Structure 1
Amino acid sequence: MIKDTPGPDPVVVGVDGSESAAHAVRWAAKEAELTSSPLSIVHATALDAVYVPASLPLPRPYHQAVLEIGQQYLAAAAAQAQAVTPKVEVGVRLSRASAAPALIGLSSAARLVVVGSRGLGGFTGLLVGSTAVAVAAHGHCPLVVVRGDEPDAAVPIVAGADGSVESDAALALAFQAAELRDVPLVVVHACPDTIVESAWHEAAIGADWQHVADAQVAAHRTRHPDVEVRPLVVRHGPARALLHEAARAQLVVVGSRGRGGFRGLLLGSTSQALIHHSPCPVAVVPARR
């Protein structure tokens, strides 16, 4: 069912007419179906003032043409969503803002915001660099960047755990995703490769970190007892470990920042690496606000 309403919807997906956006719409529609949520499809026109010489008549106003193209993108995306999940309620929204501000604004009333991994221009990283990183850093709900091919529905969910507040929020989403899909959850504990003053100091830091992360996972296991958890402890960096596991996953979930984040740093190096390089869809989860 298509409903042309401006109200915010729990699962929001941004579209721009590209094949990457179509892939994101299909993923978002399936997620909306899994979570019994409506789907809101958004196109941001980024209408700016355009000046032309007075002697150069235009066949029709520029803004009208941009809005008409946006409506075509939305109609095509809604048809794609309906083809995948005909029972999901679909809404469409045409925003005159730029993509990042539009999606950040909608994220305050959304379950998820979903985007593709590249824009209409086809340059790898274009959409990621200008939109996904901004939404991941400033959004109020998890962001999913749909990367790679259509994922195998039988492979695990992967999540990173380091004891941080953001990590706890990421685990909550990962456990729920694994439970809804009835697949295992691989929880990656990656001990940071830091140079410390002594082997004793390194062991103390590692033990404390591992205790916090284990307690964090145990709390979520209590709430989701049917999820099969596969813990994985690695001694190299978290980005490398998660990218390796993502090659055999249908979704990788991380917090927006980890324990190593500096105060004021809006997006961590691990989440940025996954946004740009993950071979499967990646969810970046902010701390609960």
Structure 2
Amino acid sequence: MGGLVIVGVDGSASSLAAVEAAAREARLRTAALKVVHAFLWPAMHVPLGPSPLGPPEGGMQNMVDRLVAEAVERARAAAPEVEVSHAVVTGEPLTVLEAQSRAADLVVVGSRGMGGFVGLMVGSTAVHLAAHARCPVLVVREEAPVDGPVVVGVDGSPAGDKAVEFAFQEAELHGSTLIALHAWTTWNAPLPAPQDPTEPYANPAEALGQEEKRLLSEALAGHRERHPDVAVEHETVHGPTREALIEASRTARLVVVGARGRGGFSGLLLGSVSQALLHHAHCPVAVVRGTAARH
């Protein structure tokens, strides 16, 4: 496939897990890997060198050099055949990684950074980056599973179509089964027209269920043709989307969602389902925006 995978690092255990996941993704895609650290302190005119009273290996610049070197070493150990480069860019993480995403096929970050609050399941950088990046964003937890199916949330919207394609690609790359999950309730499902106008909606729930199964099949049709080797399981759930996907994440290697889905508010960059998955999923989560990726 080629291309470029970016991984953001800050020295945390979460970001080192992200490095290993990013290296594996780059290997499968035959892509290059770039390790990026956003170095905020130079912009704030803070002294970067070692203190005159401290050891020569001290200071912020030396600390950053060490954490980037450790990340690069971790990446090369995980995927020796991958070309690995690195960059230390002045700026805050969201701005730096959003800019880096313009030239990337995938950005990988850890779920929590060095400044993460205890009990906060996912850091603000991961959430905001998922909303603003120009390519898919993979958010990795410290103990990411390496087997299990890829699960994709399918809502049938044009914006969600890119997430479905990304999920098919990931399943193909990893040799995994793809579970296409579509959850619906009577509140978010369009009511189908009655087959017999003289007997409207004798069983509305059953009619809705059949309509939602048809929607799922139609949403997958073109992707199945492009990826004939991917084994796909259809799963239609009568219930809330967030709960269904979080439950499915317990046995998944990856959950893929769109940034916004059916019923999303105009201007809302990251929908409630995406945010819920980032905070509560039991496996890595990929968020794929439905708009054109690169400008």
TM range (shorter): 0.7 to 0.9
Gaps of 5+ in 2: 192-199
What is the alpha-carbon distance in structure 1 between the residues aligned to residue 190 and residue 170 of structure 2? 40
Residue 30 of structure 2 aligns to which amino acid in structure 1? S
Residue 19 of structure 2 aligns to which amino acid in structure 1? V
Aligned-pair CA distance for 1:194: 1.7
Residue 85 of structure 2 aligns to which amino acid in structure 1? G
Q: Give the direction of change, closer, same or farther, for the CA distance of 1:196–1:150 in structure 2 (3 Å limit).
A: closer
What is the alpha-carbon distance in structure 2 between the residues aligned to residue 130 and residue 152 of structure 1? 25
Count residues with an aligned counterpart.
273
Q: Give the direction of change, closer, same or farther, for the CA distance of 1:97–1:194 in structure 2 (3 Å limit).
A: same
Aligned-pair CA distance for 1:211: 3.8
Structure 1 counterpart of 2:239: 236
Structure 2 counterpart of 1:3: none
Structure 1 counterpart of 2:194: none
Structure 2 counterpart of 1:273: 276
SS in 2 for 1:266: coil
Aligned-pair CA distance for 1:203: 7.5
SS in 2 for 1:128: coil
Aligned-pair CA distance for 1:207: 6.1
Q: Give the direction of change, closer, same or farther, for the CA distance of 1:195–1:120 in structure 2 (3 Å limit).
A: closer
Give aligned-pair identity as a percent. 44
Structure 2 counterpart of 1:250: 253
What is the alpha-carbon distance in structure 2 between the residues aligned to residue 51 and residue 131 of structure 1? 22
Structure 2 counterpart of 1:157: 150
Contact 1:117 1:125 survives alignment (8 Å): no
What is the alpha-carbon distance in structure 1 between the residues aligned to residue 107 and residue 229 of structure 2? 27
CA deviations on 1:165-221 (whole Å, 9 max, x unpaired) are 232111111111111111110000111352899995877776665544321211101
Contact 2:28 2:173 survives alignment (8 Å): yes
State which of 52, 75, 80 in structure 2 corresponds to 1:59: 52
State which of 29, 49, 52 in structure 1 corresponds to 2:44: 49
SS in 1 for 2:235: strand
Structure 2 counterpart of 1:144: 138
SS in 1 for 2:264: coil
Structure 1 counterpart of 2:220: 217
Structure 2 counterpart of 1:104: 98
SS in 1 for 2:268: coil
Gaps of 5+ in 1: 1-8, 53-57
Contact 1:159 1:254 survives alignment (8 Å): yes
Structure 1 counterpart of 2:34: 40
Residue 49 of structure 1 aligns to which amino acid in structure 2? M
Q: Give the direction of change, closer, same or farther, for the CA distance of 1:129–1:167 in structure 2 (3 Å limit).
A: same
SS in 1 for 2:160: helix
What is the alpha-carbon distance in structure 1 between the residues aligned to residue 31 and residue 69 of structure 2? 20
Deviates more, 1:164-173 or 1:26-35: 164-173
Contact 2:189 2:212 survives alignment (8 Å): no
- TM-score w.r.t. structure 1 length? 0.86
Structure 2 counterpart of 1:6: none
What is the alpha-carbon distance in structure 1 between the residues aligned to residue 169 and residue 29 of structure 2? 10
Contact 1:163 1:209 survives alignment (8 Å): no
Q: Give the direction of change, closer, same or farther, for the CA distance of 1:195–1:286 in structure 2 (3 Å limit).
A: closer
Contact 1:40 1:92 survives alignment (8 Å): yes
What is the alpha-carbon distance in structure 1 between the residues aligned to residue 229 and residue 158 of structure 2? 24
State which of 117, 122, 126 in structure 1 corresponds to 2:111: 117
- TM-score w.r.t. structure 2 length? 0.84
Structure 1 counterpart of 2:79: 85
Q: Give the direction of change, closer, same or farther, for the CA distance of 1:166–1:197 in structure 2 (3 Å limit).
A: closer
CA deviations on 1:102-140 (whole Å, 9 max, x unpaired) are 011111111111110111245357693421111111111
| 1:282 is aligned to 2:285 | yes
Aligned-pair CA distance for 1:100: 0.5
State the Cα RMSD in Å. Answer: 2.7
SS in 2 for 1:41: strand
What is the alpha-carbon distance in structure 1 between the residues aligned to residue 62 and residue 21 of structure 2? 25
Contact 1:193 1:237 survives alignment (8 Å): no
CA deviations on 1:9-54 (whole Å, 9 max, x unpaired) are 71000001111111000000000001100001011111342579xx
What is the alpha-carbon distance in structure 2 between the residues aligned to residue 240 and residue 197 of structure 1? 21
Residue 277 of structure 2 aligns to which amino acid in structure 1? L
